[in-house]
Amino acid sequence: MVAPRPLRHADLSRVEAVFTDVDGTLTSSHQLRSTTVRALEHLGEAGLKLVLVTGRPAGWGEAWARTLPVDGVIVENGGLFFLRGPKGKLRKVYAESPRVREPNRRRLQAEVAAVLRQVPGARLSMDSAFTEVDLAVDYNEEARLGEQGAERIEALLRARGVTAVRSSVHINCWLGRFDKLSAVKRFLKLAWGLRLEPGDGRFVYAGDSFNDAPMFGGFALSVGVANVRRVLDRIDTPPAFITRAEEGRGFEELARAIVAQRARRAPRRGVGA
């Protein structure tokens, strides 16, 4: 495995849009600090587009899309996303059709319930009630199952044909042919008529955990906030770069670097302009 390089080695001067995980990347000790929200605002004021990419439920995504300074929100590990449509109206797009989603949802609920019965203390996350496509098992938010408990649940779910991957707080599980990266590619096409190209310097992704691995592999400018070090020896694809600071402070560090490097370049029109 190639170790991530310090963020100072990243060429961020051509970045036009920032995609970012939420838990453990924007949040600090499970809280969204005012300075991190201000970092989002600074990026927007500098002309960058902002998209959240998270395992959190659709209910959270709609609220964020309406209340935070972002241009879109991808939720449930790519199961659906929200974007601004004509005249600023919020548009909701699913990865799969109702014909596929509905039977998958019923089966997923049954498979997850069977696994939860096998692991003492295992339970759905409190916010699973607001999901539409995936479900989340809490191992590190209200519950404290530890690494062994989380690994056992993941193994049991995968043995039943369920995709299961950890964030910093939950084990997200779903049935379907999607993930964060496939959703980002679809978002780019629908929202801005663009494609994510190999070596693309227009887009950066920030994350911190196992379910960010597809994104780390898909973005030339992939950045792990420093707490990603806790999983580097077990993650499929590491980020290309890493911040000095952890969690939200690491994202703030990235935002400052992007704004500073862009300021040294001549003004130009950005993504979706």
Per the CB < 8 A criterion, the answer to whether 211 and 167 are in contact is: yes
> Cα–chain-centroid distance for residue 116?
25
What is the tens place of the pLDDT at every residue in 247-267?
Answer: 999 999 999 999 999 998 856
Q: Round the average pLDDT of the chain to a whole number and report it.
A: 95
pLDDT at 1 over 80: no
Q: What percentage of the chain reaches a pLDDT higher than 70?
A: 97
Extents of the domains making up the chain? 5-95+178-263, 98-174
Angle, CA 216 vertex, CA 81 and CA 234 arms, to 5° = 115
Q: Is 97 helix (H, G, I), strand (E, B) or coil?
A: coil
- Tens digits of residue pLDDT in 32-47: 999 999 999 999 999 9
Indicate the pTM of the whole model.
Answer: 0.94
Q: Domain 98-174 belongs to what topology?
A: Hypothetical Protein Ta0175; Chain: A, domain 2 (3.90.1070)
Please state, in angstroms and rounded to a whole number, the distance separating the CA atoms of residues 96 and 195: 20
5-95+178-263 is classed CATH 3.30.429.10: no
* Cβ neighbour number for residue 67 with a 10 Å cutoff: 8
Find the mean pLDDT for residues 178-190.
Answer: 97
**155 phi/psi in degrees, rounded to 5:** -65, -45
* CB 155, CB 162: distance < 8 Å: no
**Residue 156 dihedral angles phi and psi, to the nearest 5°:** -65, -40
**Predicted local confidence at residue 265, as pLDDT:** 82
Please, which pLDDT band fits residue 269 given cuts at 50, 70 and 90?
low
Q: pLDDT at position 267, please?
A: 60
Q: So what's the pLDDT on residue 50? A: 98
- 3-class DSSP state of 176: coil
DSSP state of 4: P
Mean pLDDT of the 172-194 span: 96
135: β partners: 173
